[in-house]
Structure 1
Amino acid sequence: MKIVTVVGARPQFIKAAAVSRKLRENHKEILVHTGQHYDANMSEVFFKELSIPQPDYNLGVGSGSHAKQTAEMMVGVEEILLKERPDYLMVYGDTNSTLAGAIAASKILIPIIHVEAGLRSFNMAMPEEQNRILTDRVSKLLFCPTDTAVRHLKDEGIVNGVCNVGDVMCDAVLYYSKNLENYSDDYFWNRQIGIFGGVDPASKWYLATIHRAENTNTAQKVEAILNAFENLDAPVLFPVHPRTKGLVKELIGKNKYTNILFVEPMGYLDMLFFTKNAIKVVTDSGGLQKEAYILDTPCITVRDQTEWVETLKGNHNILAKPDSDDIFQKVNYTEIDFKNKANHYGIGDAADKICKILEDVKK
C-alpha cells in the first residue's frame, strides 16, 4: 500500500514519528512537509531528534493568512498526489496543513486517513476546530484517540470507518521519554539558549508556552500572562514561540522580569525533560497539556475550553483566563486528585493498531 503523509507543524512531526516508524515496515510512505512551521527550532530539530525520514517533498509554504497558506498548500499537495497516485492520504490533527491535504485529496477522490479524528472544543472561532471538523467530514478512515472523540463523531452522524486506536502522542511520549535517563539535568539546561540574556539552571521550575492567537493578539494579554509568571514561587521556563517573540521583546523593554527564563523553542526531548520535571505546566497548547497529563505533571491551560476534556478530571488540567490573578490563583491554590488519575490515552500501541487496520483494509 502506498500512502502520502502530509505534515507541517511541530505536533504533526511528533505524531508522524510514532506512526511512520511502524508504517514503513509494511507500506510505502511518501512524506510531504508543507513548511507551515519552517523555523529550524520548530521543524528541523524534530526530524533529527526523532529520526523521522527526511521529507520526499517540502512545499516551503511558510506563514501567511489562513486562506493564502491553505490555498498554496492545496496546490502543492494536489500536484504531488497526481504524480504519486497513492492508495491513501494520511493527515494528523487540526492545522491548515491537515485541511489542505484533506481537501486536495478529496477533490481527486483519494481516500483520506485522519489520525486524531473526532476532537472537539465546540468553539468555531478557533481555526483548529474548523479544520478538524471539515477534515473529519471528508475522511474515509477516522482514527480516534479516545472514546470521547468516537462519541463526538457519532453525534455528528459519522460512524463508518471510525475506530478508537488510542493516542499516537502517547506512543511518542512513552517511547522517547525512555531516553531521558541517558542524560544529566545539566545536559538539558546547557542546551537552552536565552533569548534576552543567559539562562541560569534552576532546581525547580514551572514550564510555560503561550502561542495561540486569542492569547497573543494584544500586548495587554501577553503582559497579564507574564505578570502571573513573574509572581510565581519558582522560575518559569518560557520557550518563546516565533509568533510571540516580538511582543515579548517589546514588553521586556517596559518591564523587568526576574522570574522568567525566556529561551528559544525547544526540541522534543528537551520539552519532555522539562515537562516531566516541572512543578506545573502553564500552556495554551493542545499537545502540551496532554503530554503533561501522561507524564503526571499538573497543568493550567490558558483557554476557555479544551478538546482534551479527559485531562480536566481530578484537576490534573485546569482552565484559566489570560488574566494575571486567575492564572496565579489556579497555579497556586487548586487541589489535585492524584490518587484517581485514569489512563485515557492508551498504552503506547496506537501506531500498531493503525497499521493492523490498514493491513486488514488491504486484504
Structure 2
Amino acid sequence: MILQPWPRDLGPVICVVGARPNFMKMAPILRAFAGHLPAIPTVLVHTGQHYDKDMNDKLFDDLKLPKPDINLGVGSGSHTVQTAEVMRHFEPVVDEYKPSCVLVVGDVNSTLACSLVAAKKGIKVVHIEAGLRSYDRAMPEEINRLLTDQLADRLYTTELGAQDNLVREGIAAERVCFAGNVMIDSLLHNRSLARPVTQTLADAGLPTDLLDNKDGYAVVTLHRPSNVDQLATLQPLLKVLREISERLPIAFAIHPRTRANIERFGLMELMRSPRIALLPPQGYLEMLGLMSGAKLVLTDSGGLQEETTALGIPCLTLRENTERPITIEQGTNTLVGIDPKVIWQYVNEVLVQGGKSGRVPALWDGKAAERIADDLARWLMATVYP
C-alpha cells in the first residue's frame, strides 16, 4: 500500500466505459480505487456507444456504479463511424482533465478509440483484460484487442496464457501484470443479490413456473453478427433451440440485434413455445439469477463463458473459436460451433451425464480490482516518487 499522499500534479485516471460488458468490469475497479490508500482520483467517461436509457440506468443501479462524470453520447453507427465519433468527442475531455492515464477495459470500439486518442496525445494507456486472443480477425473485437494492447503502457491480464500472447507480439513482459478477472469480482460481489428467476419471469409477464422442470432449464443468449445476421445461420440455430426446449425449457434473453433479425427473417414463430421464455435484454442481477439456477448455458458471449466457469455451470459456446481458452482448459465451457447435430450431442451429454465439470482459474477470487489498484498506484507514483 502506498503511504504518500496522491501528488497534486498527478492527474486523475480517466476510466472509460462504452458498452454493457464494460460496466461489470469497471464497477469493482472504481470501488477499489476509492478504497485505496491514498484514494486514486478518477473521472468516469461513458462514451454512449451502447445506450438504452432504462437498461443503462438499471445496470448502473444494480452494480452501484457512480453516474458518469461525462457522457459523450456518440450512439450507434458503423465500426468506423463509431470509432471516429468517440475519438472526436473524447479528445476535449483529455485536454480538459489532463489525466495521469486513460484506463480502458475489454474490447469494444470505445476501448480502441480512447486508447488511440490518449496515445497520440502522449497520455499513458492502461488496458484491463489484455492479451485475450481468438485469432479470428473477422471479429471486430479481435482488432480492438490487438491494437489496444500495442498502444497500452500497462497491461493487466485475466489468465497466465494472455502474457504469452503479448510477449509473442513484441510487448515487453515488464509492461504486463497478471491481476485476475474483474468480471468475477463483480459476480462474487453481487451473487447474493441475484434476482429470483420467478421474479424475472413475472416482470416479463410470463408464468412463474415456466422454467420449473425436474431436469432444470437452459439459458440462451445470441448476439454475434456471425450467428444472427444471416438467415442461413440463424434459422438452423433457432430450430435446434426449439428442439432442445422440448427436453429442457429455455430462458432466451434476446439481444435487440437478434430480435430485429428474427423478425426481419420471419422466424419469430419458431420461438413461440410454452417451453421458451422469450425475455427482453436483462439487467445484471436478473442474468446472474438466471445463470445461477441453470442446468446449462448456450451462448456466443465471452463474458458468460467466464461467469459460468466461476459458477460451475456447464456452458456450450456457439462459436468456432474463443478468446477465453482458460474457460475450456480449466472451466466448464465447451466450444461446440454452430452445427445443430454437434450442439445436440453436447446438450444430451449434459442431460445424461451432468455436463463438464471444471475448476475456477487462478486469481478469479474477487480481489483482482484490489491488485490492480495497488499496482497502478505504485506504477503511477513512481513517476513522482522514483
User: How would you bin the TM-score normalised by the shorter chain?
Assistant: over 0.9
Letter in 2 for 1:286: G
- Does 2:146 align with 1:144? no
Cα displacement string for residues 322-358 of structure 1 (whole angstroms, at most 9, x for unaligned residues) = 23222222222266453x5352452111100011012
**Distance in 2 between residues matched to 1:6 and 1:314, nearest whole Å:** 30
**Distance in 1 between residues matched to 2:197 and 2:330, nearest whole Å:** 30
**Distance in 2 between residues matched to 1:178 and 1:238, nearest whole Å:** 23
Which residue of 1 is the match for residue 290 of structure 2? 274
Alignment coverage as a number of residue pairs: 357
Which residue of 1 is the match for residue 211 of structure 2? 202
Letter in 2 for 1:13: F
**Distance in 2 between residues matched to 1:27 and 1:68, nearest whole Å:** 33
Which residue of 2 is the match for residue 325 of structure 1? 341
**Distance in 2 between residues matched to 1:219 and 1:258, nearest whole Å:** 24
- Does 2:370 align with 1:346? no
User: Residue 181 of structure 2: which of 167, 174, 181 is its match?
Assistant: 167
- Does 2:251 align with 1:237? yes
Distance 1:238 1:177, change over 3 A: same
Offset of 1:314 from its aligned partner? 6.4
**Distance in 2 between residues matched to 1:211 and 1:199, nearest whole Å:** 26
Distance 1:258 1:222, change over 3 A: farther
Offset of 1:187 from its aligned partner? 2.7
Which residue of 1 is the match for residue 144 of structure 2? 131
Distance 1:199 1:71, change over 3 A: farther
Letter in 2 for 1:222: L
Q: Is the 8 A contact 2:220 2:253 kept in 1?
A: yes
Q: Is the 8 A contact 1:229 1:259 kept in 2?
A: no
User: Secondary structure at 1:306's aligned position in 2?
Assistant: coil
Q: Percent identity?
A: 37
What aligned pairs does 1:1-363 form with structure 2 within 5 A after superposition?
1-25=11-35, 26-40=39-53, 42-158=55-171, 159-180=173-194, 184-192=196-204, 201-203=210-212, 204-232=216-244, 233-249=247-263, 250-253=266-269, 256-313=272-329, 316-333=332-349, 336-338=355-357, 341-361=359-379, 362-363=381-382
Letter in 1 for 2:278: F
Q: Is the 8 A contact 2:309 2:331 kept in 1?
A: no
**Distance in 1 between residues matched to 2:267 and 2:314, nearest whole Å:** 28
**Distance in 1 between residues matched to 2:328 and 2:271, nearest whole Å:** 34
Farther off after superposition, 249-258 or 263-272? 249-258
Q: Is the 8 A contact 1:99 1:135 kept in 2?
A: yes
Which is higher, the Rg of structure 1 or of structure 2?
A: 2
Which stretches in structure 2 are left out of the alignment for 5+ residues? Answer: 1-10
User: Secondary structure at 1:231's aligned position in 2?
Assistant: helix
User: Secondary structure at 1:308's aligned position in 2?
Assistant: coil
Letter in 2 for 1:230: R
Offset of 1:8 from its aligned partner? 0.8
| TM-score scaled by length of structure 2 | 0.88
Cα displacement string for residues 265-323 of structure 1 (whole angstroms, at most 9, x for unaligned residues) = 10111111111111100000000111011001000001111111111136721112223
Offset of 1:359 from its aligned partner? 2.0
Letter in 2 for 1:14: M
Q: Is the 8 A contact 1:211 1:241 kept in 2?
A: yes
Offset of 1:57 from its aligned partner? 1.0
**Distance in 2 between residues matched to 1:227 and 1:156, nearest whole Å:** 41
Distance 1:40 1:341, change over 3 A: same
Letter in 2 for 1:202: L
Distance 1:226 1:238, change over 3 A: same
Offset of 1:86 from its aligned partner? 0.5
Offset of 1:186 from its aligned partner? 2.7
Distance 1:199 1:264, change over 3 A: farther
Offset of 1:90 from its aligned partner? 0.4
RMSD value over aligned CA atoms?
Answer: 1.9
User: Secondary structure at 1:43's aligned position in 2?
Assistant: helix
**Distance in 2 between residues matched to 1:40 and 1:28, nearest whole Å:** 27
Q: Is the 8 A contact 2:43 2:69 kept in 1?
A: yes
Offset of 1:201 from its aligned partner? 3.2
Cα displacement string for residues 227-265 of structure 1 (whole angstroms, at most 9, x for unaligned residues) = 111111111111111111122233114775443221101
Q: Is the 8 A contact 1:199 1:261 kept in 2?
A: no
Letter in 2 for 1:144: T
Distance 1:209 1:253, change over 3 A: same
**Distance in 2 between residues matched to 1:309 and 1:172, nearest whole Å:** 21
**Distance in 2 between residues matched to 1:184 and 1:271, nearest whole Å:** 10
Distance 1:312 1:122, change over 3 A: same
Cα displacement string for residues 32-65 of structure 1 (whole angstroms, at most 9, x for unaligned residues) = 1111111245522111111101011111111110
Q: Is the 8 A contact 2:108 2:144 kept in 1?
A: yes
